[in-house]
């Protein structure tokens, strides 16, 4: 196998973020939400590695806490989107006919909204909260999953080995389960990776707007938003959370590319 | 006289491995040389190297190529100027070798505009004349059409026309007709040979098919693993091959098998006035038109009989084969199996029929589920009669794999097998339940000649041992010589001729059968 | 079955049928989009009249509004009435400011449109040639660098890049104003100053996506036989690229441009927040905070319709680069 720098670098970057989050579950230098107004906007030091914010909270601890928030929100959202999207996509691709037409029309309508706009609309209804975000983004991105799953099912169905299975006398249901369903795994895995990235980005954008995970809980997005007024005096407050988001996204994107290469049969030859 | 092309010690490397190794040959003006070999022999790489268009990953690794005495350097301006008026090339895949975004007139004209001083009107004139020469009617209007509006055979003619417009001194044809059915293949090859003769063009024909060599080449060079095996005038080389590999290739050409007597019995499966219609796609404001793929065909197949169903593309033969297995919806007529009507059966009643019938598809790359191991693929049909333990199923699958020459490969995935091996897997899957009736849909068309020979032999051996009836669907009359007892010829969804094999091959009554026979690439001398 | 060429005669008929078909498909999509916006707002707990008027409203006012907006009629009738009014440009009034929503949206859209179209335009001009050249020189150092840079760019959150730019060019270098906005009508040069940073920010990030797409589709095209055929005809390399490779590779990129416009319009709020621009996205977010439902509804509908129209235009342009799509 040839060296895959994408896999290596992507894995390292994402691994770093995961380790930071895992550490934060058991230990952070300070309590990420405890304020200390006497120590506001302290520059980085050996006590406060990345300084403190406008409420005197330790930035490093909050970044670590933010990693937990971002990763858990993204993972739960991906699950919601996958479960919903797979259900709709499989139902459409398997049953075809009127079921598919109706599901297809609904799905195409939802796809006619940019994902983040749909999430904004849903948040307007649900109100900002951690689970509101998960539900809104999950619903917003489920249609893309549904489309990929349905498309894969419909194209695999046309392959000769599926016809061969029918010729053997296998029932339609068995054929779909045994010969069609497993083939949706590869595209779904690749898509789930991209989704993970989009959702990290969307969640931090929504939190930045104040529509995401509400304070005082730390997220990279709301840290950026509250850092804005102090940009000149404490630029690190604005830089650090962005670096974390970018690290995470770069890791996801590189890993996604590597996965696509690995799972693409054309490249395997 | 200076040869048109002189290749001396040519080597081509692909990442450290040599795909062509010290190859030398020459072509005299107006001469036709065939480079013959099976997949992986390096013949296509050689062709690409001559015109300096090696695909990424392949690189020249020594040797010289001279065109009319002058050395060709890859990437040089001199070589680029020669492309077109000096050396023309026709590619294998007609579906991708024309640019889908440009009208064919513009594409044909492009070369003329680059290499001649003709003005616009003269160029158009030349294009029309050439299109008419390659048998495309209504040429002025067709110039305005896009490639996707033409069939594969038509596109290959257009390709040929656009290359020959520039009157090249050397034409490289890389498997130019492999993607076409035999009838179209003969037409395109005849055109190519005719044009080359008219213009005095030398031909470098790359092919895996010895049948083409016999008919269209003056000399042949047989290649294996990147090296020359044998070279010489085409006819003697095919009649008296000196090297073992050449002999194996020649032996792989279809040879008529012994005539068999099938004991009389009531038909196993019988189509009575069977019709299949498809809706045509694409009509927006009109009601969908129906397309009749099979029109009222009656055909009876007896136990243990091998019937070849022959026809060109669009003749309806594939559809009929599928309809006889109830794999496509039947729109009219009856299908009888062992005397009972199965046309409208469904559910468990249909299952009985399915258990007794099987199919082997053309393309072993797509007919096997890439996510299953070979043993599981072969064992899968045994799941359905029910009551057989998994271990027993696997045992039987392994035993049959052994029988078809794939012993010990049961735990592999299909992608780890060669094309021939995959087709053996497909055959094993079809036979594991001991069916009474098997449809083989172009089952050997995608294989190299020597492999095809072996797979055909396997099919015949299994047929004789197990005694199933077989409907062998193919476009190539040559292939059916080997194994058919009876031949049925289809055209436009109807049967136009049927009879015992020897009668149809030796004394065809219908014009279409005669045309198919003339196009078939059969053993030299075996043709009537 | 393949239609015999030339039999249908006029090729324009194919193109016309294709255009009509696309238009016909877009219509039901628009209706469904309107319906989902309408019913999404109905999901809000509580009586719409109270929601619209706020908690402090008198019962009489609520009753009046119910009649005025037809809220006492069946829900499908309400939807029909709403669509009818929306088609006439009446999207209701803002709860907080009392302004008519339609004109409000149009005014704010000018800002958003300027940023979105300018950034997409710059990104396309920059990224598409770059991606195509990278594909032509596949696996060269330049190619590897272009792909790495693109991947890096698309991994940067736009709002963060915007903040950094503000920090560097606004606060430290003082080249551009940090807050505020003037319209083009008031002061063209000034307006350019205000939108320069947001446009550059978005353009850079879209460049990342587009380079990768343009490169990938060009790589696909370059390995097709018709490229080899063109070279085998002696066509010079620049012409092989300019006439045969690049235009054909552009078709999938065109689709992506439509998608990018959509996600930009949907996510424009963050960038407008960073640069304090009075655009459509900012309007939407403020309305969400204020629970100003007529505005939320109007903005969502407006953006979705724009998105549908952009995709429609993309589809209609597609046959220019790939005539096969008109074949049905």
Q: A115-161: per-residue pLDDT in tens? A: 888 899 888 888 888 889 999 999 999 999 999 999 999 889 888 89
Is B138 an 8 Å CB contact of chain C? yes
More confident residue, A168 or C46: A168
Nearest CA in chain C to B139: C6
Nearest one of B351, B320, B337 to B266, comparing CA atoms? B337
Is A182 an 8 Å CB contact of chain B? yes
Q: Which residues of B37-53 are buried (b: 16+ CB within 10 A; e: fewer)?
A: bbeebbbbbbbbbbbbb
The DSSP bridge partners found for residue B336 are: B270, B341
Nearest CA in chain B to C21: B284
For residue B101, give the nearest of C17, C225, C248 by CB distance: C248
Confidence of residue B479 (pLDDT cuts 50, 70, 90): confident
Look at residue C7 in the predicted model and tell me its pLDDT.
38
Helix (H) or strand (E) holding B487: strand B486-491
pLDDT at B525 exceeding the cut of 50: no
pLDDT at C185 exceeding the cut of 80: no
**What would the pLDDT profile of A202-247 be if each residue is shown by its tens digit?**
999 999 999 888 888 889 998 999 888 888 888 888 999 999 999 9
**A235-239, B380-384, C185-189: segment of lowest average pLDDT:** C185-189
Look at residue B287 in the predicted model and tell me its pLDDT.
54
Interatomic CA distance for residues B109 and B124, integer angstroms: 7
Helix axes C158-165, C188-222, angle to 10 degrees: 140
Look at residue C327 in the predicted model and tell me its pLDDT.
67
Pairing of strands B332-337, B269-279: antiparallel
Q: Do C6 and B51 touch (CB under 8 A)?
A: no
Whether A187 contacts A148, CB under 8 Å: yes
The DSSP bridge partners found for residue B64 are: B8
For residue B98, give the nearest of C226, C236, C327 by CB distance: C226
The DSSP bridge partners found for residue B90 are: B173
**What would the pLDDT profile of B361-372 be if each residue is shown by its tens digit?**
988 888 999 889
- Work out the percent of chain B whose per-residue pLDDT is above 70: 97
Segment A193-207 shows an average pLDDT of 93
Interatomic CA distance for residues A140 and A232, integer angstroms: 36
Q: How far is CA C293 from CA A110, C85, C265, C283, C299, in A?
A: 20, 16, 19, 12, 10
Pairing of strands B202-207, B170-174: parallel
Cβ neighbours of A26 (radius 10 Å): 6
Is A168 an 8 Å CB contact of chain B? yes
Torsion from C-alpha of C196, C198, C200, C204, nearest 10 degrees: 180
Q: What are phi and psi of B103, to 5 degrees?
A: -65, 150
Considering only CB atoms, which chain B residues are within 8 Å of C139?
A: 56
**What would the pLDDT profile of B200-258 be if each residue is shown by its tens digit?**
999 999 998 888 888 899 999 999 999 999 999 998 888 889 999 999 888 888 778 78
Q: What are phi and psi of A51, to 5 degrees?
A: 80, -170
For B284-374, where are the E strands, in sequence order?
290-301, 306-310, 332-337, 340-341, 357-360
Write B216-220 long-range contacts (CB < 8 A, 24+): B216/B32, B216/B34, B216/B189, B216/B192, B217/B32, B217/B33, B217/B34, B218/B31, B218/B32, B218/B33, B219/B31, B219/B32, B219/B33, B219/B34, B220/B33, B220/B34, B220/B35, B220/B36
Q: Do C233 and B110 touch (CB under 8 A)?
A: yes
Q: Which chains touch B (3 or more CB pairs under 8 A)?
A: A, C
Segment C260-269 shows an average pLDDT of 87
Look at residue B152 in the predicted model and tell me its pLDDT.
86
**What would the pLDDT profile of B94-112 be if each residue is shown by its tens digit?**
888 899 889 999 999 999 9
The DSSP bridge partners found for residue B474 are: B310
Q: Which chains touch C (3 or more CB pairs under 8 A)?
A: A, B
Nearest CA in chain C to A235: C167
Considering only CB atoms, which chain C residues are within 8 Å of B146?
A: 11, 323-324
Whether B318 contacts B307, CB under 8 Å: no
Whether B151 contacts B145, CB under 8 Å: no
Interatomic CA distance for residues C121 and C143, integer angstroms: 23
Look at residue C239 in the predicted model and tell me its pLDDT.
93
Is A214 an 8 Å CB contact of chain C? no
Is A254 an 8 Å CB contact of chain C? yes
Considering only CB atoms, which chain C residues are within 8 Å of B51?
A: 232
For residue A231, give the nearest of C152, C163, C308 by CB distance: C163
Residue A157: strand, helix, or coil? helix
For residue A159, give the nearest of B366, B383, B429 by CB distance: B366
Residues in contact with B38: Cβ distance below 8 Å, sequence separation at least 6, in sequence order: B208, B224, B249, B448, B449, B450, B451
Is B206 an 8 Å CB contact of chain C? no
Interatomic CA distance for residues B519 and B186, integer angstroms: 5
Interatomic CA distance for residues B89 and C232, integer angstroms: 6
Q: Do B363 and A160 touch (CB under 8 A)?
A: yes
**DSSP 8-state symbol, A179:** I
Interatomic CA distance for residues A64 and A68, integer angstroms: 7
**A69-73, A257-261, C50-54, C159-163: segment of lowest average pLDDT:** C50-54
Length of chain A (residues): 269
**H-type helices in B134-243, by residue range?**
139-142, 152-164, 182-199, 210-216, 234-239
Q: Do A113 and C300 touch (CB under 8 A)?
A: yes
Rounded to a whole number, what is the distance in Å from the CA of B228 to chain A's nearest CA? 27
For residue C29, give the nearest of A112, A122, A204 by CB distance: A112
For chain C, what is the mean pLDDT? 86
Confidence of residue A20 (pLDDT cuts 50, 70, 90): very high
For residue B100, give the nearest of C228, C235, C324 by CB distance: C324
**B204-218, B328-342, B450-464, C168-182: segment of lowest average pLDDT:** C168-182
For residue C226, give the nearest of B88, B97, B282 by CB distance: B97
Residues 224-253 of C with CB under 8 A from B: 224-226, 228-236, 243-244, 247-248
Neighbour-count burial of A45, counting CB atoms closer than 10 A to its CB (0-12 exposed, 13-18 middle, 19+ buried)? exposed
Considering only CB atoms, which chain B residues are within 8 Å of A268?
A: 415
Joined tokens for residue C5: 């060429």
**B·C CB contacts under 8 A:** 110
Confidence of residue B522 (pLDDT cuts 50, 70, 90): low
Interatomic CA distance for residues B54 and B75, integer angstroms: 11
Confidence of residue A266 (pLDDT cuts 50, 70, 90): very low
Rounded to a whole number, what is the distance in Å from the CA of A187 to chain B's nearest CA? 14
Interatomic CA distance for residues B150 and C210, integer angstroms: 34
Rounded to a whole number, what is the distance in Å from the CA of A30 to chain C's nearest CA? 25
Joined tokens for residue C243: 């006439």
Write A180-187 long-range contacts (CB < 8 A, 24+): A180/A93, A180/A94, A180/A153, A180/A156, A181/A90, A181/A153, A182/B371, A183/A152, A183/A156, A183/B371, A184/A86, A184/A89, A184/A90, A184/A149, A184/A152, A184/A153, A184/A156, A186/A263, A187/A148, A187/A149, A187/A152, A187/A263
**H-type helices in B404-448, by residue range?**
419-431
Torsion from C-alpha of B204, B206, B209, B210, nearest 10 degrees: 40
Nearest one of B191, B188, B197, B196 to B172, comparing CA atoms? B196
Q: How far is CA B286 from CA B270, B278, B290, C17, C24, in A?
A: 37, 16, 12, 12, 15
Confidence of residue B444 (pLDDT cuts 50, 70, 90): confident
**What would the pLDDT profile of C223-262 be if each residue is shown by its tens digit?**
888 999 999 998 999 999 999 999 999 988 998 898 888 8
Look at residue B381 in the predicted model and tell me its pLDDT.
92
- For an interface test with A, give the residue of B369, B432, B440 to mutate (most A CBs within 10 A): B369
Segment C141-157 shows an average pLDDT of 93
Is B359 an 8 Å CB contact of chain A? yes
Nearest one of A172, A174, A160, A185 to A89, comparing CA atoms? A185
Q: Do A265 and B381 touch (CB under 8 A)?
A: no
Q: How far is CA A159 from CA A156, A171, A190, B205, B368, in A?
A: 5, 16, 22, 34, 9
Look at residue A55 in the predicted model and tell me its pLDDT.
84
Is B403 an 8 Å CB contact of chain A? no
**Is the backbone of residue B469 left (phi > 0), alpha (psi -120 to 50) or beta?**
beta
Q: Do A242 and C171 touch (CB under 8 A)?
A: no
pLDDT at B288 exceeding the cut of 70: no
Considering only CB atoms, which chain B residues are within 8 Å of A166?
A: 327
The DSSP bridge partners found for residue B275 are: B332
Write A79-83 long-range contacts (CB < 8 A, 24+): A79/A138, A80/A134, A80/A135, A80/A137, A80/A138, A80/A139, A80/A142, A81/A137, A81/A138, A81/A139, A81/A141, A81/A142, A81/A144, A81/A145, A81/A195, A81/A199, A82/A145, A82/A188, A82/A192, A82/A195
Considering only CB atoms, which chain C residues are within 8 Å of A113?
A: 33, 36, 266, 300, 303-304, 307
Interatomic CA distance for residues C160 and A228, integer angstroms: 10
For residue A164, give the nearest of B359, B371, B383 by CB distance: B359
Look at residue C30 in the predicted model and tell me its pLDDT.
87
Confidence of residue C11 (pLDDT cuts 50, 70, 90): low
Joined tokens for residue B115: 């290499």
Q: Do A113 and C307 touch (CB under 8 A)?
A: yes
**What would the pLDDT profile of A28-73 be if each residue is shown by its tens digit?**
888 888 888 887 878 888 887 888 888 888 889 999 999 999 999 9
Spacing of C-alpha C53 from chain mean position = 32
Question: Could you give the ipTM of this predicted complex?
Answer: 0.88
Is A157 an 8 Å CB contact of chain B? no
Interatomic CA distance for residues B444 and B283, integer angstroms: 36
Helix axes A115-126, C11-42, angle to 10 degrees: 20
Rounded to a whole number, what is the distance in Å from the CA of A80 to chain B's nearest CA? 27
pLDDT at A265 exceeding the cut of 70: no
pLDDT at B342 exceeding the cut of 80: yes
Joined tokens for residue A82: 């996958």
**What would the pLDDT profile of C281-311 be if each residue is shown by its tens digit?**
999 999 988 888 889 999 999 999 998 899 8
pLDDT at C179 exceeding the cut of 60: yes
Neighbour-count burial of B265, counting CB atoms closer than 10 A to its CB (0-12 exposed, 13-18 middle, 19+ buried)? exposed
Joined tokens for residue A80: 């919601």
Residues 209-238 of C with CB under 8 A from A: none
Look at residue C188 in the predicted model and tell me its pLDDT.
78
Is C173 an 8 Å CB contact of chain A? no
Residue B99: strand, helix, or coil? coil
Q: Do B354 and A163 touch (CB under 8 A)?
A: no
**What would the pLDDT profile of B68-81 be if each residue is shown by its tens digit?**
999 988 778 888 88
Nearest one of A144, A129, C5, A104 to B141, comparing CA atoms? C5
Nearest one of B279, B301, B264, B256 to B456, comparing CA atoms? B256
Greatest mean pLDDT among A169-183, B158-172, B255-269:
B158-172
């Amino acid at each position: 196998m040839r060296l895959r720098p994408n896999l290596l670098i992507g894995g390292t970057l994402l691994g770093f973020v995961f380790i930071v989050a895992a550490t934060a579950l058991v230990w952070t230098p300070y309590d990420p939400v405890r304020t200390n107004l006497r120590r506001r906007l302290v520059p980085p030091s050996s006590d406060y590695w990345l300084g403190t914010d406008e409420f005197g909270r330790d930035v490093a601890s909050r970044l670590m806490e933010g990693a937990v928030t971002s990763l858990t929100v993204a993972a739960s959202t991906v699950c919601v989107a996958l479960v919903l999207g797979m259900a709709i996509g499989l139902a459409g691709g398997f049953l075809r006919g009127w079921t598919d037409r109706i599901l297809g029309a609904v799905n195409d309508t939802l796809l006619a909204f940019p994902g983040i706009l749909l999430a904004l609309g849903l948040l307007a209804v649900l109100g900002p909260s951690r689970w509101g975000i998960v539900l809104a983004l999950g619903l917003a991105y489920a249609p893309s999953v549904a489309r990929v799953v349905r498309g894969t099912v419909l194209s695999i169905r046309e392959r000769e080995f599926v016809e061969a299975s029918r010729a053997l006398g296998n029932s339609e249901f068995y054929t779909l389960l045994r010969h069609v369903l497993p083939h949706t795994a590869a595209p779904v895995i690749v898509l789930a990776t991209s989704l993970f990235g989009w959702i990290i980005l969307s969640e931090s954008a929504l939190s930045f707007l104040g529509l995401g995970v509400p304070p005082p809980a730390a997220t990279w997005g709301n840290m950026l938003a509250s850092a804005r007024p102090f940009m000149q005096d404490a630029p690190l407050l604005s830089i650090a959370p962005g670096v974390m988001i970018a690290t995470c996204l770069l890791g996801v994107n590189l890993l996604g590319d590597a996965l696509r290469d690995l799972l693409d049969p054309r490249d395997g030859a | 006289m200076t040869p048109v092309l002189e290749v001396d010690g040519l080597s081509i490397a692909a990442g450290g491995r040599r795909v062509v190794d010290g190859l030398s040959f020459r072509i005299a003006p107006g001469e036709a040389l065939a480079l013959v070999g099976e997949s992986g022999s390096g013949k296509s790489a050689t062709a690409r190297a001559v015109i300096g268009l090696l695909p990424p990953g392949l690189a020249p690794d020594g040797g010289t190529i001279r065109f009319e005495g002058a050395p060709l350097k890859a990437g040089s301006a001199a070589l680029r100027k020669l492309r077109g008026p000096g050396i023309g090339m026709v590619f294998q895949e007609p579906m991708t070798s024309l640019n889908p975004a440009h009208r064919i007139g513009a594409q044909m004209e492009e070369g003329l505009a680059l290499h001649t001083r003709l003005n616009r009107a003269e160029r158009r004139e030349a294009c029309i004349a050439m299109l008419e020469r390659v048998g495309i009617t209504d040429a002025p209007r067709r110039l305005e059409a896009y490639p996707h509006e033409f069939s594969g055979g038509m596109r290959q003619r257009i390709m040929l026309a656009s290359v020959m417009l520039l009157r090249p001194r050397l034409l490289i044809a890389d498997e130019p007709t492999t993607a076409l059915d035999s009838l179209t293949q003969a037409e395109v090859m005849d055109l190519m040979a005719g044009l080359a003769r008219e213009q005095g063009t030398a031909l470098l024909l790359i092919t895996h098919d010895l049948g083409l060599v016999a008919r269209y080449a003056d000399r042949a060079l047989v290649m294996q693993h990147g090296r020359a095996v044998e070279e010489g005038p085409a006819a003697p080389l095919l009649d008296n091959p000196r090297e073992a590999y050449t002999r194996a290739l020649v032996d792989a050409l279809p040879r008529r098998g012994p005539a068999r007597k099938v004991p009389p019995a009531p038909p196993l499966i019988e189509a009575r006035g069977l019709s299949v219609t498809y809706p045509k796609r694409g009509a927006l404001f009109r009601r969908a038109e129906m397309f009749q793929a099979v029109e009222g065909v009656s055909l009876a197949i007896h136990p243990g009989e091998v019937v070849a169903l022959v026809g060109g593309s669009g003749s309806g033969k594939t559809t009929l084969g599928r309809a006889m297995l109830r794999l496509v919806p039947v729109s009219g007529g009856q299908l009888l199996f062992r005397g009972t009507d199965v046309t409208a059966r469904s559910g468990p009643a249909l299952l009985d029929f399915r258990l007794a019938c099987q199919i082997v598809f053309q393309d072993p790359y797509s007919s096997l589920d890439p996510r299953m191991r070979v043993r599981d693929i072969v064992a899968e049909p045994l799941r359905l009669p029910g009551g057989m333990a998994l271990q027993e199923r696997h045992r039987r699958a392994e035993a049959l794999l052994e029988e078809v020459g794939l012993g010990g490969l049961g735990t592999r995935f299909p992608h780890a097998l060669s094309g021939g091996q995959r087709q053996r897997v497909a055959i094993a899957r079809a036979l594991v339940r001991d069916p009474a009736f098997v449809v083989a849909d172009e089952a050997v068309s995608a294989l190299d000649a020597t492999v095809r020979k072996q797979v055909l032999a396997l099919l015949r051996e299994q047929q004789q041992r197990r005694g199933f009836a077989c409907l062998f669907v193919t476009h190539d009359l040559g292939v059916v010589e080997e194994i058919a007892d009876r031949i049925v010829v289809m055209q436009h969804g109807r049967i136009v001729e049927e009879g015992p094999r020897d009668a149809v091959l030796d004394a065809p009554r219908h014009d279409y059968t005669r045309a198919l026979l003339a196009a078939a690439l059969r053993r030299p001398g075996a043709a009537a | 079955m393949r239609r015999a060429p030339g039999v249908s005669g006029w090729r324009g008929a194919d193109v016309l049928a294709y255009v009509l078909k696309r238009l016909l498909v877009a219509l039901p999509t628009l209706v469904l989009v309107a319906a989902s916006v309408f019913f999404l707002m109905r999901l809000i707990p509580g009586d719409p009249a109270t929601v619209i008027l706020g908690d402090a409203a008198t019962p009489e006012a609520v009753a009046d509004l119910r009649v005025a907006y037809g809220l006492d009629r069946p829900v499908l009738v309400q939807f029909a009435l709403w669509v009818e009014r929306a088609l006439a440009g009446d999207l209701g009034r803002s709860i907080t400011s009392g302004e008519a929503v339609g004109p409000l949206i149009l005014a704010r859209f000018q800002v958003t449109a300027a940023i979105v179209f300018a950034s997409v335009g710059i990104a396309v001009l920059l990224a598409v040639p770059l991606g195509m050249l990278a594909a032509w020189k596949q696996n060269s150092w330049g190619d590897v660098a272009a792909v790495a840079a693109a991947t890096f760019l698309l991994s940067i959150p736009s709002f963060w890049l915007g903040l950094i730019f503000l920090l560097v060019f606004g606060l430290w270098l003082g080249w551009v104003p940090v807050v505020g906005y003037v319209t083009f009508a008031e002061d063209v040069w000034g307006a350019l100053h205000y939108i320069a940073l947001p446009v550059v920010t978005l353009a850079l990030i879209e460049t990342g996506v587009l380079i990768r797409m343009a490169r990938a589709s060009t790589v696909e095209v370059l390995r097709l036989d018709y490229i080899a055929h063109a070279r085998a005809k002696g066509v010079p390399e620049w012409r092989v690229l300019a006439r045969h490779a690049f235009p054909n590779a552009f078709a999938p990129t065109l689709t992506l441009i439509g998608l990018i416009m959509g996600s930009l319009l949907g996510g424009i709020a963050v960038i407008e927040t960073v640069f304090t621009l009075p655009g459509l996205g900012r309007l939407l977010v403020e309305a969400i905070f204020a629970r100003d439902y007529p505005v939320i509804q109007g903005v969502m509908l407006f953006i979705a319709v724009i998105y549908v129209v952009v995709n429609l235009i993309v589809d209609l342009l597609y046959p220019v680069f790939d005539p096969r799509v008109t074949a049905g």
